[in-house]
Amino acid sequence: MKVVLQQGRYLVCLCLLVLGSASAQVLDIQTPPAATDPTTAWNGQGHRIYVVTWRGCEESCEGFLEYFKANEIAAQFIIRNAEQDPARLPLLREEARRLQPNLILAWGSTVTLGLVGPWDTDDSQYIRDIPVVFMYVAQMVESRITRSEEVTGRRNVAGTDYSVPIESQLRAIQAYRPFDRLAIIYDPTQEGSVKRVEAVRRFTESLDFNLIAEPLPLGADGRPDPASLPAVVERVAAQRPQFLYFGYNSFLIRNVQEFTRLAVAHGLPVFTGGPLPLVEGEALLGLFNRLRSVGRLAAYQAEQILVHGVSPGDLPIARFNRYSMAINMPVARKLRLYPPMLLLSYAEILE
């Protein structure tokens, strides 16, 4: 009896262990190894690339890996996930320093800042001697990751710009339907959102349109109030714009479905500079760079550094000059605002 109990305890421990590690895999928990453990180490085949993501290896990260495979560049990747927790970044910095990769790939502004810090500080805690390539970073100058839009101005940092120029976006809208009134709803508490409105306003003269800019009403807590959405959309619709421009801000992103639904209900087509409102919401038209391409562009920069020996600081910030247009057909049918025939031949049609 005692033997059975003992064996049972072993069994339970074993099960727990197995379950634990299994769940660890499923939940994608990757704890950084202890500082003295060098074995999460390189197997000596090809370039050593350390990838830091914010929420796991998504499409752009996959695009990055694909590029190396497609071009037969031998490389080994160690992929880390910050799990949207800024506190993890110092640990990841440590590990990076210890592992001494040939290149670090950083996804997003927070990760990048966490790894290399702002350009105008000398703080030694940040990584300054290992080449870093960043992708999926918005507002790189405002967040002080780079000195300018053209070059990073930092010896060990190279970057990519995935944003589509506003002028191209506005011309895409024009290609769908000519417009002379464009509406944009923005978050007055977010600096980025306000700046976006000003950026669009700069084109009112050259592209000959009026901009209707409505701020989101703030609630008692000083933040935008979701309950006010229907009213704000109605107010905007009353001014009869031909298109509604989706300015990316966290509030609208969180409420993308409700927001776009309201717009469609008022017969307002929504244009977006990113895929989210099209795929998860009822936006009509979008012009953006596919995430896979974003990853591939970053991989191209990495190739310049690893294979061709270019210093990261010498590389210009890479950007696209052709973008993908996507049209949401069900919304087009609902609005009875059909795409022009020529657009149909090259835009991606989403059903």
Which residues bind to other proteins, rule: CB under 8 A? 329, 332-333, 336, 338-345, 349
Q: Smaller CB distance to other proteins: residue 160 or 328?
A: 328
Q: Hey, what are 219's tokens?
A: 């609630």
Sort strands 324-328 and 285-288 into parallel, antiparallel or unpaired.
antiparallel
Q: How far is the CB of 288 from other proteins (least distance, A)?
A: 21
Q: Which helix (H) or strand (E) holds 233?
A: helix 229-238
Q: How far is the CB of 284 from other proteins (least distance, A)?
A: 13
Q: Smaller CB distance to other proteins: residue 35 or 349?
A: 349
The CA radius of gyration of the chain, in Å to the nearest whole number, is 24
Q: How far is the CB of 290 from other proteins (least distance, A)?
A: 21
Q: Smaller CB distance to other proteins: residue 36 or 346?
A: 346
Q: Smaller CB distance to other proteins: residue 5 or 341?
A: 341
Q: Hey, what are 235's tokens?
A: 């107010």
Q: How far is the CB of 351 from other proteins (least distance, A)?
A: 8
Collapsing DSSP to helix, strand or coil, 222 comes out as coil
Q: Hey, what are 160's tokens?
A: 């990519």
| Contact assessment for residue 133 and residue 156, using Cβ atoms and an 8 Å cutoff | no
* Dihedral pair phi/psi, residue 92, rounded to 5°: -65, -35
Q: Smaller CB distance to other proteins: residue 308 or 336?
A: 336
Q: How far is the CB of 344 from other proteins (least distance, A)?
A: 6
Q: Smaller CB distance to other proteins: residue 308 or 346?
A: 346
| Contact assessment for residue 282 and residue 270, using Cβ atoms and an 8 Å cutoff | yes
C-alpha to C-alpha distance for 164 and 246, rounded to whole angstroms? 14
Q: How far is the CB of 105 from other proteins (least distance, A)?
A: 33
Number of neighbouring beta carbons within 10 Å of residue 2? 6
The single-letter DSSP state of residue 316 is B
